[in-house]
């Protein structure tokens, strides 16, 4: 079927990018593919905003007494770095860019279930981002992205309300996106596409969407109440007027822990797609990986207390949260083993997406295992609030989620733009990112165990060597992120034209042209085989295995 | 119309959006979407309810005293009004299913009247009385006594929760205006009534939230 | 595990080497246990990371694509493999959880006859109070080998008292008390830090624990000027703020007598029963109307804002001391 599709070069063929021109055709589009690109531009901006703050912080931390900024400014830098990276880059990234682009293609539909709500979600995101950027330029906020009370309600003299409003608004973008994906996956699958024939990326997006829909409203209320407390001195979170600051932490972490799974699950979905394509093998243990995604989504709602082990909770509550926190690690371990086993007897090629995916598996393993140190009560007492935590979550978020995001961007770039990027540069950048990343964050594990607390603008001199190592690594990491920005933008205009399926991958999105037409498929697809049907002909019949 | 567009309409009715394959898919998607949205609303209000529960346990007497300031009569009247509006809304949905244009319009208007009545009673009899009695925490609050701080906290919750609920009602009324216009133009028939049905779901949910708010806020003071 | 024991030459060499330190000093009774668990987890992490990277690298080389027409064999699921790599991680997690929980449980309860110290965090300094009346700012002198129980609170926002060398940490929160304990095993000077972000001066809210031999500690106590003891200060405040007018010792006043009440259960009007501990007393002083007691009218005014955290703790020390002779006689 794919051979019959238009293989005429993009200039002469009509596809979603040239179907209509003009700013209105972009700002009022309901085409999920164009909305994905609108998100791509917005979150890339927020990534470099947050990244710039990280650069300033790492320069500042070269010296124990602080090399660059006043402590007040440093406090604002780490806060705004966290807010912009978490709410405005990581949470939308894969779902809003790759998910928006691919979900309708992968289910064989013409668009998402609610295209106008999709556009609305982007505008809501923009409003949230605009409010937050305004807060950044008009003085910044210094509460930490966690907004702990009563500091944020009563003591902070910075743009708390504006930032809180920005985050609150952006939450609705996340909810609407998740809602759209759930309905699309339930109701709009092509004929023959049963649940267990879906690519694992869809399972991952589905699990993520469930978390987005259930968890985000709770943090919305938490932030809403902080705002009300700040305005009216109500007495909900401020103990000086009878409130309970720990209640805020419960409400906040009830969302923010599942939120970290919003950030990693889609990345895991991307890895499943890349590993299978670049080893030309069906994934090992498809059902296990699919069910692991769902298990992670469910268990993630039960572990929030592990962020609060040193707040004085009862020993018994601590034990329960600790057990569940260990439990949530198991499905992730299962996935890592299944991905590794997929490579066995494969036919492996090393283009940039595969390098990012393989790097992900190793770094996610390390980041995930360092989570065990924190699920374990005795060690968490020592490590909580130190750089060990910072290293742990950056291994997962940067070594994991960002690498998966970059791998996915590279993998689907030809489909999205109709152009190939220069793979040599891409592999070089992937290597630079991997090296720079480890140099930046590995020393932070050591700093943490030595006792250096996080969010410190100045520190005792004995921590300097490790801080300097980390800052040196950060410069390499930053370079590694700039290089793709350059060649990807370059490739849009000057890259070689890409065929419909440059990687010879399986999946409905590859059975339409690159870039796809606005309606995605010239002929609505019918699915007759399972996902990742890379095996010898006849071996992938339903029921022949698994 | 031309042959092509007649054929187009036959296989592709005007109310079927182009990205759906058939009207069943469209209807089911819309309904599932609304249920999911209501689920997020449950989590949203749920967070507020949980916080209210924590403080009710902590400031038991103060919250009782605060609750005593509320008018159970008007609250009960409003409950009846809102349940009535759910009935009229269900009748509007039924009328839409049967394609009865005049009935849809009638029941939608009745629902909206009852909704406006609810808000009117709240504003005129409850909230303005609260203002005059000095019960609004940020507008001249003056309550004396040992439990004053807790009473103030109770009223913060009261206004947040009923205010958020009222906001949802106003949004619902706005959606009904749109439905009214669509109904007046004859857009609904037995083949296409999903918007009314989905709005009905939303309105019933708003009603159910009130059915939880009323006992939690008005009746927990134990004076009946 | 032998290699990782406390007397390993490797560890000693690492701790002595200049440049990049690896571990903080081990100066408390719990430090060794925490370190051993940490070593195990580190080995586990590095081992599995190494295994995964090695296997991936091996497969990358062994199964690299040699021609575009290569057709790999079909993937066959192996249930036994899936079960194995589900069960083994689960068992490891159970082991680590059990080990960690037992350490945590042991460390949760201070031994009796602990020396008690009060720590109050405020932006941006630590105010430390010995019961004998000595006050310190950002310094804590303690004797070696003696269990020390720290009761903490905050004057403003959430802080956290963290002593890396002892491997202990606890949040100091406004409006409530938290406690932790340690027993130092080495003399010396060790850092403490605030480990919960608290504003502009968060990184400046650091200080030193001085662990001294018992003789040196006694000398330090004797040689340091002191103010009133906590109990004396509390008694003065009890008079000064008029508590004594209602809380008459023989129970004839408008408020209940407080003699011998500390540690006893108290029933509230709403039916729940609470123990009269530090948290109870603090709440009674700052929010008396949140806990009305039977038989007494709820007329006690709130002292929120009139007394700072130090003064509240002094009052509590005084109330604790009331009826002490009686309790000692009863052998409590």
Record: contact A71-C200, CB cut-off 8 A: yes
Which residue among A246, A283, A453 sits closest to C195, beta carbon to beta carbon?
A453
Residue A157 reports pLDDT greater than 80: yes
pLDDT at residue C330 is higher than 50: no
Of chain C, the percentage scoring pLDDT greater than 90 comes to 58
What are the boundaries of each domain within chain C? 22-58+81-226, 230-321
Between CA C285 and CA A158 the distance in angstroms is 33
Measured over the CA atoms of residue B62, residue B63, residue B69 and residue B72, the dihedral's sign is: negative
What 3-state class would DSSP assign to A491?
helix
* A148-157, A292-301, A530-539, C131-140: range with lowest mean pLDDT: A530-539
Whether pLDDT at C11 is above 60: no
- φ, ψ for residue B43, nearest 5 deg: -65, -35
Cα angle, residue A219 at apex, residues A214 and A221 outer, rounded to 5°: 105
Q: Is residue C287 helix, strand or coil?
A: coil
B128: Cβ contacts below 8 Å, ≥ 6 apart: none
Considering only CB atoms, A217 lies closest to which of B44, B149, B150, namely B44
A345/chain C closest Cα distance in angstroms: 6
The 3 state secondary structure assigned to chain B is: CCHHHHHHHHHCCCCCCCCCCCHHHHHHHHHHHHHHHHHHHHHHHHHHHHHHHHHHHHCHHHHHHHHHCCCHHHHHHHHHHHHHHHHHHHHHHHHHHHCCHHHHHHHHHHHHHHHHHHHHHHHHHHHHHHHHCCCCCCCCCCCCCCCHHHHHHHHHHHHHHHHHHHHHHHHHHHHHHHHHHHHHCCCCECCECHHHHHHHHHHHHHHHHHHHHHHHHHHHHCCC
Q: Which residue of B has its CA nearest to C304?
A: B149
> Do the Cβ atoms of A110 and B19 come within 8 Å?
yes
Model pLDDT, residue C110: 83
pLDDT at A542: 47
Residues of B in Cβ contact (< 8 Å) with C287: 149
Q: Could you give the C-alpha distances from A202 to A508, C153, C161, in angstroms and in order? A: 12, 49, 45
Render pLDDT for A342-366 as a digit per residue (tens, 0 to 9). 999 999 999 999 999 999 999 999 9
Length of chain B in terms of residues written: 224
List of chain C residues whose C-beta atoms are within 8 Å of the C-beta of residue B59: 290
Q: Which of B19, B33, B54 sits opposite A109 (nearest CB)?
A: B19
Q: Between A300 and A11, whose confidence is greater?
A: A300
Q: Choose among A109, A111, A213: nearest Cβ to B39.
A: A213
Task: Select the residue from C255, C289, C302 to test the B interface by mutation, using most B Cβ atoms within 10 A.
Answer: C289
Indicate the Cα dihedral angle C235, C218, C151, C247, nearest 10°: -10
- The third-level CATH classification (topology) of the domain covering C22-58+81-226 is Immunoglobulin-like (2.60.40)
CATH topology of domain C230-321: Cytochrome Bc1 Complex; Chain D, domain 2 (1.10.760)
Query: Can you identify the CATH homologous superfamily of domain A32-510?
Result: Cytochrome c oxidase-like, subunit I domain (1.20.210.10)
Cα nearest neighbour of A254 on chain B: B47
DSSP state of A196: G
pLDDT of residue C253: 85
- Asked if residue A345 lies in contact with residue C73, where contact means CB atoms within 8 angstroms, the answer is yes
* CB-based contact B146 C270, cutoff 8 Å: no
pLDDT confidence of residue A545 = 43
Is C175's CB within 8 Å of A312's CB? Answer: no
| Neighbouring chains to C with at least 3 Cβ pairs closer than 8 Å | A, B
- State how far the Cα of C280 lies from the Cα of C303, in Å rounded to an integer: 14
Closest-CA distance, B85 to chain A, in angstroms, reads 27
Quote the pLDDT of residue B189. 84
Q: What is the pLDDT of residue A504?
A: 94
Question: Rounded to 5 degrees, what are φ and ψ at C141?
Answer: -95, 130
Q: Quote the pLDDT of residue A240.
A: 85
Question: Span C306-329, mean pLDDT?
Answer: 80
B60 contacts C289? CB cut-off 8 A? no
C-alpha distance from residue C273 to each of A86, A138, B147, C264, C293 (Å): 44, 51, 20, 10, 10
pLDDT at A129: 97
Pairing between strand C159-163 and C135-137?
unpaired
Q: What tens digit of pLDDT does each residue of A507-520 get?
A: 999 999 989 999 99
Of A337, A379, A456, the CB nearest to C41: A379
What integer pLDDT is reported at residue A94 of this predicted model? 97
**Beta carbons of B19 and A111 less than 8 Å apart:** yes
**Predicted local confidence at residue B7, as pLDDT:** 55
Residue C131 and residue C162 in contact, taking contact as beta carbons nearer than 8 Å:
no
Alpha helices in C193-290 (DSSP H): 214-223, 230-240, 243-246, 278-286
CB contact under 8 A, B149 and A179: no
Q: Identify which of C34, C204, C304 has the shortest CB distance to residue A379.
A: C34
In sequence order, the β-bridge partners of residue C184 are C28
Q: In which residue are the tokens 């406390």 written? A: C6
- Which residues, including other chains, have CB under 8 Å from residue A263's CB and lie 6 or more apart? A86, A90, A91, A93, A397, A401
Q: What is the pLDDT of residues A200-224, one digit of tens each?
A: 999 999 999 999 999 999 999 999 9
C chain contacts of residue A377, beta-carbon cutoff 8 Å:
100-101, 103-104
- Closest chain C CA to residue B150: C290
| Average pLDDT of chain C to the nearest whole number | 87
Q: Is any Cβ of chain B less than 8 angstroms from the Cβ of C245?
A: no
Nearest residue in chain A measured CA to CA from B48:
A221
Query: Which residues in chain B are closer than 8 Å to C270, comparing Cβ atoms?
Result: 60-61
CB nearest to C298's CB, from B58, B146, B149:
B146
Which residue in C93, C96, C178 is closest to A312 by CB distance? C178
Average pLDDT score over chain A: 94
Closest-approach residue (CA) in chain B for C297: B146
What value of ipTM does the predicted structure carry? 0.91
Residue B9 at interface with chain A, using a CB cutoff of 8 Å: no
Chain B residues close to C255, C-beta within 8 Å: none
Cα–Cα distances (Å) from A497 to A37, A123, A225, A417, in that order, read: 19, 32, 52, 9
Question: Is the separation of the CB atoms in A495 and A177 below 8 Å?
Answer: no
Residue C325 clears pLDDT 60, i.e. is over it: no
Tell me: the pLDDT tens digits for A257-288? 999 999 999 999 999 999 999 999 999 999 99
Bridge partners, residue C207, by sequence: C192
The pLDDT score that the predictor gives to residue B179 is 94
For residue A517, give how far its alpha carbon lies from the nearest alpha carbon of chain B (Å).
Answer: 13
Q: Identify the pLDDT of residue C19.
A: 52
State whether B61 and C270 contact (CB < 8 Å): yes
Residues A33-69 pLDDT 10s: 999 999 999 999 999 999 999 999 999 999 999 999 9
Q: Which helix (H) or strand (E) holds C180?
A: strand C178-183
> Each residue of C264-288: pLDDT tens digit?
898 888 778 889 988 899 989 988 8
Burial (CB count <10 Å: 0-12, 13-18, 19+), residue A125: buried
Question: Tokens at residue B93, please?
Answer: 């949905």
The SS3 call for residue C263 is coil
User: Domains in chain B, ordered, with CATH?
Assistant: 72-224 (1.20.120.80)
* Contacts C49 to A, Cβ<8 Å: 362, 365-366, 369
Interface contact B59, partner C, CB < 8 A: yes
pLDDT band at A101 (very low <50, low <70, confident <90, very high): very high
pLDDT score recorded for residue B141: 87
Locate the domains of chain A by residue range.
32-510
Q: State mean pLDDT over C8-12.
A: 52
> Cis before residue A515, ω within 30 degrees of 0?
yes
Q: Is residue B215 less than 8 Å (CB to CB) from chain A?
A: no
| Interface contact B60, partner C, CB < 8 A | yes
Residue C12: predicted pLDDT: 55
Q: What is the DSSP letter of A86?
A: I
| pLDDT (tens place) for every residue of chain B, 224 residues total | 455 555 555 566 788 888 999 999 999 999 999 999 999 999 999 999 999 999 998 888 889 999 999 999 999 999 999 999 999 999 999 999 998 999 999 999 999 999 999 999 999 999 999 999 889 988 888 888 878 888 999 999 999 999 999 999 999 999 999 999 999 998 888 889 999 999 999 999 999 999 999 999 999 877 65
B43 contacts in chain A (CB < 8 Å): 214-218
- What would the two tokens of residue A10 be? 């993009």
CB contact under 8 A, B32 and A186: yes
C289 CB within 8 Å of a chain B CB = yes
Any A CB within 8 A of B49 CB: no
- Using 50, 70 and 90 to split pLDDT, how confident is the model at C327? very low
C253-264 pLDDT, tens per residue?
A: 888 888 888 888
Residue A3 is predicted with a pLDDT of: 44
């Amino acid at each position: 079927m794919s051979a019959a599709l238009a293989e005429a070069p993009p200039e002469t063929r009509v596809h979603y990018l040239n179907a209509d021109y003009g700013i209105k055709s972009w700002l009022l589009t309901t085409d999920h593919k164009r909305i994905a690109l609108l998100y791509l531009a917005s979150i890339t901006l927020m990534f470099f905003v947050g990244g710039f703050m990280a650069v300033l912080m790492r320069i500042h931390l070269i010296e124990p007494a602080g090399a660059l900024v006043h402590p007040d400014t440093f406090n604002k830098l780490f806060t705004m770095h966290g807010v912009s990276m978490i709410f405005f880059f990581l949470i939308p990234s894969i779902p809003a860019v790759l998910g928006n682009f691919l979900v309708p293609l992968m289910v064989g539909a013409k668009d998402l279930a609610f295209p106008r709500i999709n556009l609305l979600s982007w505008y809501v995101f923009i409003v949230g981002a605009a409010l937050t950027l305004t807060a950044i330029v008009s003085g910044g906020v210094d509460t930490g992205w966690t907004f702990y009370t009563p500091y944020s309600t009563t003591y902070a003299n910075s743009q708390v309300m504006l930032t809180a409003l920005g985050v609150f608004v952006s939450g609705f973008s996340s909810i609407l996106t998740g809602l759209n994906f759930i309905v699309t996956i339930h109701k709009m699958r092509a004929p023959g596409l049963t649940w267990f024939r879906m690519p694992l990326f869809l399972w991952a997006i589905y699990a993520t969407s469930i978390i987005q829909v259930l968890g985000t409203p709770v943090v919305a209320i938490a932030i809403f109440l902080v705002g009300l407390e700040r305005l009216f001195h109500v007495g909900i979170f401020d103990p000086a007027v009878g409130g309970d600051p720990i209640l805020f932490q419960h409400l906040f972490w009830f969302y923010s822990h599942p939120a970290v799974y919003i950030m990693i699950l889609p990345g895991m979905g991307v890895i499943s797609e890349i590993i299978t394509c670049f080893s030309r093998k069906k994934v090992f243990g498809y059902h296990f990986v699919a069910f692991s995604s769902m298990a992670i989504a469910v268990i993630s709602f039960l572990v929030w207390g592990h962020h609060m082990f040193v707040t004085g909770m009862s020993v018994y509550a601590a034990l329960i949260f600790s057990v569940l926190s260990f439990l949530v690690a198991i499905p992730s371990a299962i996935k890592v083993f299944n991905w590794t086993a997929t490579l066995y007897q494969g036919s492996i090629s090393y283009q940039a997406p595969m390098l990012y995916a393989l790097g992900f598996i190793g770094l996610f393993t390390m980041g995930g295992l360092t989570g065990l140190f924190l699920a374990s009560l005795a060690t968490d007492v020592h490590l909580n609030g130190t750089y060990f935590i910072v290293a742990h979550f950056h291994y997962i978020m940067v070594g994991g989620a960002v690498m998966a995001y970059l791998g996915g961007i590279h993998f689907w770039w030809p489909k999205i733009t109709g152009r190939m990027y220069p793979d040599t540069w891409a592999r070089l950048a992937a290597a630079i990112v991997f090296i720079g990343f480890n140099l930046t964050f590995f020393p932070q594990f050591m700093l943490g165990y030595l006792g250096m607390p996080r969010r410190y603008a100045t520190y005792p001199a004995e921590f300097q060597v490790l801080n300097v190592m980390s800052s040196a690594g950060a410069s390499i990491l930053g370079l590694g992120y700039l290089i793709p920005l350059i060649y990807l933008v370059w490739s849009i205009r000057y890259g070689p034209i890409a065929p419909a399926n440059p990687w010879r991958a399986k999946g409905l999105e590859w059975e339409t042209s690159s870039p796809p037409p606005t309606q995605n498929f010239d002929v609505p697809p019918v699915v007759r085989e399972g996902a990742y049907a890379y095996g010898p002909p006849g071996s992938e019949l339903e029921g022949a295995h698994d | 119309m031309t042959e092509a567009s007649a054929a187009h309409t036959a296989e592709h009715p005007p109310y079927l959006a182009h990205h759906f394959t058939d009207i069943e898919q469209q209807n089911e998607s819309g309904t599932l979407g609304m249920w999911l949205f209501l689920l997020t609303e449950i989590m949203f209000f749920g967070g507020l309810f949980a916080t209210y529960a924590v403080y009710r346990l902590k400031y038991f007497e103060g919250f009782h005293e605060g609750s005593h300031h509320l008018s159970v009569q008007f609250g009960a009247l409003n409950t009846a009004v809102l349940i009535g509006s759910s009935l009229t809304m269900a009748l509007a949905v039924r009328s839409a299913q049967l394609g009865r244009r005049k009935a849809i319009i009638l029941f939608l208007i009745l629902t909206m009247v009852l909704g406006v009545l609810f808000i009117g009673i709240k504003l005129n009899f409850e909230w303005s009385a609260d203002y005059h009695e000095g019960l609004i925490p940020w507008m001249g609050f003056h309550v004396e006594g040992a439990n004053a701080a807790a009473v103030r906290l109770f009223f913060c919750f009261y206004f947040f929760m009923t205010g958020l609920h009222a906001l949802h009602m106003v949004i619902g009324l706005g959606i009904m205006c749109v439905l009214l216009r669509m109904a007046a133009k004859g857009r609904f028939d037995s083949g296409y009534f999903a918007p009314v049905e989905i709005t009905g779901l939303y309105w019933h949910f708003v009603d159910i939230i009130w059915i939880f708010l009323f006992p939690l806020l008005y009746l927990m003071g134990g004076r009946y | 595990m032998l290699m990782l024991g406390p007397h390993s030459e490797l560890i000693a060499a690492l701790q002595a080497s200049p440049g990049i330190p690896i571990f903080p000093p081990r100066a408390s009774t719990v430090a060794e246990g925490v370190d051993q668990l940490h070593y195990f987890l580190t080995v586990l992490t590095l081992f599995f990371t190494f295994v995964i990277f090695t296997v991936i690298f091996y497969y990358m080389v062994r199964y690299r694509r040699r021609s575009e027409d290569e057709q790999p064999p079909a993937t066959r699921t192996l249930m036994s493999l899936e079960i194995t790599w589900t069960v083994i991680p689960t068992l490891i997690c159970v082991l680590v959880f059990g080990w960690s929980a037992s350490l945590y449980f042991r460390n949760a309860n201070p031994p009796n006859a602990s020396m008690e110290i009060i720590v109050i965090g405020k932006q941006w300094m630590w105010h430390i109070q010995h019961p004998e009346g000595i006050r310190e700012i950002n310094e804590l002198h303690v004797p070696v080998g003696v269990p020390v129980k720290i009761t903490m609170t905050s004057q403003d926002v959430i802080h956290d008292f963290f002593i890396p060398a002892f491997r202990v940490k606890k949040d100091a929160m406004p409006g409530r008390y938290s406690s932790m304990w340690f027993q130092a095993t080495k003399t010396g000077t060790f850092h403490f830090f605030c480990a919960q972000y608290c504003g502009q001066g968060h990184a400046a809210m650091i200080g030193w624990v001085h662990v001294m031999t018992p003789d040196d500690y006694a000398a330090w106590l004797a040689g340091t000027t002191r103010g009133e003891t906590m109990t004396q200060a509390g008694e003065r405040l009890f008079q000064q703020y008029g508590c004594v007018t209602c809380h008459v010792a023989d129970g004839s006043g408008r408020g209940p007598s407080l003699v011998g009440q500390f540690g006893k259960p108290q029933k509230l009007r709403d039916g729940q029963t609470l123990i009269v501990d530090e948290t109870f007393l603090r709440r009674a002083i700052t929010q008396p109307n949140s806990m009305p007691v039977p038989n007494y009218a709820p007329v006690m005014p709130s002292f929120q804002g009139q007394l700072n955290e130090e003064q509240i703790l002094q009052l509590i020390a005084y109330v604790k001391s009331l009826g002490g002779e009686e309790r000692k006689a009863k052998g409590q």
